[in-house]
């Protein structure tokens, strides 16, 4: 599986990961190489097999919907890059 520059840029966009031209080149080669090695999976006969998402067979877990204390707002906002009036502050979404 050889990736193109466009594919690498597309994946980066999907992940909202900024990427330099040098990284496009580097990741194109490395990811292509890794994916080629993963072609081995096509040899595995998985016809009719269910996928396993999680290794122990727990079903959905429910808990009572009980109110409890949350973290103090000031503690939570202490790590915020920017905040205003108990809110996280970001740049304008609509330009």
Name the residues that contact another protein, by CB under 8 A. 7-8, 11-12, 14-20, 23, 27, 30-31, 33-35, 37-38, 40-44, 46, 49-56, 58, 61, 63, 71-72, 75-76, 78-82, 88, 90-93, 95
**Alpha-carbon Rg for the chain in angstroms:** 22
Q: What is the rounded distance in angstroms from the CA atom of residue 66 to the CA atom of residue 63?
A: 8
Q: Backbone dihedral region of 3: left (phi > 0), alpha (psi from -120 to 50 degrees) or beta?
A: beta
**Beta carbon of residue 71, minimum distance to another protein (angstroms, whole number):** 5
**Beta carbon of residue 59, minimum distance to another protein (angstroms, whole number):** 11
């Amino acid at each position: 599986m050889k990736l193109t520059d466009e594919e690498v840029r597309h994946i980066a966009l999907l992940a909202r990961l900024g990427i330099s031209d040098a990284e496009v080149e580097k990741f194109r080669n490395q990811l292509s190489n890794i994916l080629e090695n993963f072609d081995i999976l096509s040899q595995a006969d998985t016809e009719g097999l269910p996928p396993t998402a999680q290794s122990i067979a727990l079903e959905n877990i429910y808990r009572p919907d009980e109110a409890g204390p949350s973290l103090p707002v000031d503690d939570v906002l202490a790590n915020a890059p920017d905040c205003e009036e108990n809110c996280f502050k970001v740049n304008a979404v609509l330009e």
